[in-house]
Every structure is written in C-alpha cells, then in structure tokens.
Chain A
C-alpha cells in the first residue's frame, strides 16, 4: 500500500508462519474465522501447525507487552470455490472482541458496491523502496473507491489477503480481498480485489457447518 497513514482497522489480522514472520493479511469475519486469499498458502491441505494470526495491534511488530495484542494459532484451512481464490482460516479459539479487535461485516449476496463509496485497504505489507519511505509499516490507509478510474494502488508483499473495507449504512463491510494481480497496480490500471459478495453463501455455510 503506497501512501495512506496509520489507522485503526480492528478486523485486519496479520497471518504469521512458524517463524512468527508476517506473510499475509486477513479479515476477522467471525470470532473464530478469518478470510484471506488462496495464493498465500501452499495447498488446501496445508499443515498449519505453528501458524497463527495476530490481532489488536497497530504496529506490525508490536512490543512484547502490547496490552491489546492477541495471538491465536490457526487450526484449519478451508478453500473456497475454485475460482474464488479465497480461503477461510479457523482459529483454535475465538478472538476476544474489544476496541482493538472487531468483526467486519459481510455484504449481502452478490451485492455491488455503488461508485463513490468510501473504502479503505489495510495491511502491514512491506513498503520498502516506495514513495512512502522507511519506517515501521503501520496499519490502515483510507482510499476512495473509484470505478475503473485512476487508482494508483501498488500492493506490495504481505498485504495479500487483507481487506478492502467499504462504509455502508455506517458499518464497514468486507467487499474485497487483496489478491496478487498480474502486475503492480499503476495509474492506468485498476487494483484487483476478489469480490466477496459472490462467495458470502459459501462463507456462511463454512461457519455453519
């Protein structure tokens, strides 16, 4: 994510490997369920022992004593319909919701976000070597959603799987998931997200079953 500023995106989670290294983002849609993208994981049968999500912090590598940090191991990966490129991650226990950790809403099935809606993306992806300059990657970056227009989003490493959240009826709704695209986004190229509203029935079914 280029530009933007530190923000509070309490549904955005950091997905970490066995070495505790952040490698992708995700969104908390239920206390025990996170949504991310299939491209972040080796296989639908991946053994995720040692993998975990980190919630409730602003900084990618918060201090050990960060009062709001929650770290929860992942117990299972469930792949979405083949063309969705989505996965759901089941946490070993529910996250505790508070001012730093909240659920994001799911859109109605097959909902299309009206143009002009205020949206934002969030993540701890590396911004090294970009216009934002050095410094600890922090969370958050409000952007205005423009249809097929002059977006200039470049989604570098580590933001994949994170949320495109849009403000609808005074609530933030997960309308997109950041996914690796053909090339880095440029001014003449729209950013690409997975349209979550197409897969909401699958998401509810996984949670229910």
Chain B
C-alpha cells in the first residue's frame, strides 16, 4: 500500500530549469503522478520529474535543485517531484541511500573525489551509475553503521565519517511538535508514513490545501490536530495512524506572548484564571477525566499550561475553551474573556457591518486560508470582482460585498466549507434589533403549518 510518491518531495507550482539542459530531458510521457514516480524510481538516471496536473504529462529529469547550473522557478502548471534521498540533509537508518551533497567530514576535512586516487589510492569504491559515488560527496557504500563517510584530502587521514545526523535527530521538536517541519517519514515502530495528499490506504480530513499552515508536506510526521506528538497515517492498512519518534529540543521554546486579562489571536497564549464558560457553566479540571474523558492531560501538554480548570486553547480552536462540568455539554468556549485592546487596532476591526473594511486579513476565524475572490476553485463564487466591482474584492482579503450583518467573510480553501467569517471584530458593539414589526406586516410561504387536529390526538 505504499505509493511510489513516498520516495519524492513535492514542490508545488515549481519548475526546475537546467541551463543549458544537457543531456536534453526525455520527451514528456502521459500518466498519473504515481505512474511517473514509479518510472522515475526504477530509472537509475532519474532523480526528479515535472508533473503537469492538467495535461497529466510528466517529464523525467536527471538532476535536482542541488545539481550545478539549475534553478527553481515558479510555474503554476507544474509540480516538481524530487527524490528525497537527493534532497534530505539527514540520514535514514545507516544512510546507505543518502545522495545529498555534504562533502566534508565530521572534523571538517574536505572529501577526496571518488574517482580520484590521490592522496588516497583505492579501488574498492569507484563511481558507477548504480552506487551513487559522485563528485566528493559523503556516501556509505559499505553500510558502515556510523553512516556516510569519504576519503579525505588530508594525506594523514585516509577516510573519516561525515557525521550526518539521523533525521529523527536532525530537527528537534518543542512542546507537542506542532511546529515540527523535519524530514522523519517513519513511525516509531518503523512503518512508513502515508502521504498527506493521498487518501489511501487511509481516508482522512487533513488535506494539505485545507491546512496550509500545518506543514502537511509529502509523508512527513506532523502534528496538525494538537496531539501529544507528531504522527502520521501509516502505509499499513491495518494501522491508521501512529506517533513518530523525534528528539525533544533541549532549549525551551520561545514563549508565546502570554496574556492574563484578555486574549490575542485565538488565545493560545491566554494564561488567565477564568474558569467558567460563556454560558456560565463551570469548567472541568484538565487533570480530571469526569464527566468528560479527553486526551489533554496536563503533563502531556507542558506548554499549554492546562492548570486547574482555567479556560485554555491547547488545540488552536477559535478562542479559549474548556470541558464543562455538565455531563451533557462536553466543551464550551469562554468567549466572555475580552480580546486584548491592542489587537483590535484600526485595521483589525470593522465599522457597521464591515462593508468598507479594506484590511489585509485573509484567514477565516478557524485559521483556514481564504480563496482568492477571482478564483473558481475550490468554490465557484456567486460573488466576484466581476459581479461586485465596487467591493474591493482584492486577492483573498476578507470583505463584505453583500453587507452581511456578521461582518467580513471570504470563500475558503477548504473544499467542505464554502464560506466563513473572518477573525475580525466589530470596532463598536452593535445593537442589531430593529423596532418591532407589526405581526400583520409579515407573511410566510410553505412553512410553519401543521395539522392541528394531530395536536390533540395521541397515539
């Protein structure tokens, strides 16, 4: 169930230009991205490929972005897939598959070229198309357990390890690893991860487009849902998801701008002592599992300050919240905590309904990126710069072209959510109620009628 794409790192809307292209790349071939990956994986010369999603054409390449005389450039028609082994600056297992461009040893000695025989003559490891011994890059042709090594240019030191770190050590993680962007792509039991942009073997809600700021690249371990540690869906159909083993950073994480009397943004830095919900229901203690069981155990979330039963935001929700002490209400927001005044400066609040808001916020209140007003995907807009030329529908900024009484909004990049409101508050509290309409001023059609005689008739 592993996809051939698992061996590749994807760069969206990017083209790799080689100047001049020699040898000229082969002609593009038809096929899906996975079929291209399969072809490239089995070709010794192939190290990357362009994939044109529209025409379903792919072009195999024998170079990567680290090759000489190449450059990356934006091209919305292509995605560039490059073999991970050529890009990663860390090693998996003993680094036999490492094809990076490190060329110095752990003591800083420059490596001797593999086809050179001076200062160190050797015949065991000469370059061939298959063994990846090229230039003077660190390699591990003999499966040395210390990882990639090389002959050195120092006549006194024949060869030396390059000291390239294992991927699980190369990038460490702080707190629960929500910010982890390293290159570990196996779980702690050694199972390979499923790509986030694939829905097999496991269907899942974490589309990279839907959560652009969660770093859901390729099949690397990530923590998009505030779990205890980074994890991934696995390529084992029998095991949906599993944690990954990643080293903790020794240094403490940089503290969020903590607040106590108010909250900024979504309130992830709120450390006040409010402990009842907006509707006045007391909060349940975080270290308790009744009346509601949950996984936000304080000791597993050291950076979230889940003390006592204070309102907190450990999972990036739209505001501080808590489990409630009432069995029938699992969680509730603590919207009664006010937003910090400095946050609501001129741009970040709107007057009236915000129909004249021209700020640059372009995320919904749940943190989903807005869809550009001129775009047709993932949602075909009913309101666009064409239909509403005077509404300043620029880029993907929040706007209120239809004078929605709840403020600026936008179409969203989440295929399942056509539109949502933005995290912008009204500058002044508004009284929305209008004088009472006379009852006979209203009329209704095809609703609100029932057979009254059924009212009396029990069963």
Contact = CB atoms under 8 A, between A and B. Distances in A.
Interface of A: 6-11, 23, 39-40, 42-45, 47, 58-59, 76, 78, 81-85, 99-100, 102-112, 114, 117, 140, 157-158, 160, 165, 168-173, 179-183, 198-199, 201-202, 205, 208-209
A8 B454 contact: yes
Interface string B409-441: 000000011110100000000001111110110
Contacts of A10: 450
B405 A201 contact: yes
A169 B440 contact: yes
28 contacts: A6-B458, A8-B452, A9-B450, A10-B450, A39-B279, A43-B317, A58-B458, A81-B406, A82-B319, A82-B335, A83-B335, A99-B451, A108-B442, A109-B434, A110-B405, A111-B436, A112-B433, A114-B439, A165-B448, A169-B439, A169-B444, A171-B444, A172-B448, A172-B449, A172-B450, A182-B280, A198-B433, A201-B406
Contacts of B123: none
Contact of B279 (A9, A169, A180): A180
B444 A7 contact: no
Contact of A44 (B366, B443, B454): B366
A168 B436 CA distance: 13
Contacts of A43: 317, 331
Contact of B382 (A100, A182, A209): A209
A105 B455 contact: no
Contacts, number: 136
B138 to A, nearest CB: 44
B241 interface: no
B88 interface: no
A103 B447 CA distance: 5
A153 to B, nearest CB: 16
Interface stretch (B63-71, B103-111, B257-265, B322-330): B322-330
Determine the interface band of chain B, counting residues with CB < 8 A from chain A: 35 or more
Chain A binding surface SS class: loop
A42 B330 contact: yes
A208 B411 CA distance: 13
Interface string B11-23: 0000000000000
A208 B205 CA distance: 24
Contact of B280 (A44, A157, A173, A181): A181
Given A82-B333, A111-B437, A168-B439, 16 more contacts: A11-B448, A39-B329, A42-B331, A43-B331, A99-B450, A104-B447, A104-B448, A105-B448, A108-B437, A110-B434, A157-B328, A172-B450, A183-B280, A198-B432, A205-B402, A209-B382
Given A105-B444, A169-B444, A47 B205 contact: yes
Given A198-B432, A201-B404, A8 B366 contact: no
B406 A202 contact: yes
B318 interface: yes
A107 B447 CA distance: 11
Contacts of B198: none
Nearest to A111: B437
Nearest to B414: A45
A65 to B, nearest CB: 13
A82 B365 contact: yes
A2 B23 CA distance: 84
Nearest to A113: B436
B446 interface: yes
Of the candidates B333, B439, B458, the one having the most CB atoms from chain A within 10 angstroms of its own CB is B439
Contacts of B447: 102-106, 171
Contacts of A9: 450
Contact of A103 (B419, B448, B459): B448
Of the candidates A23, A165, A201, the one having the most CB atoms from chain B within 10 angstroms of its own CB is A201
Contacts of A181: 279-280
B387 to A, nearest CB: 14
A179 B279 contact: yes
B173 interface: no
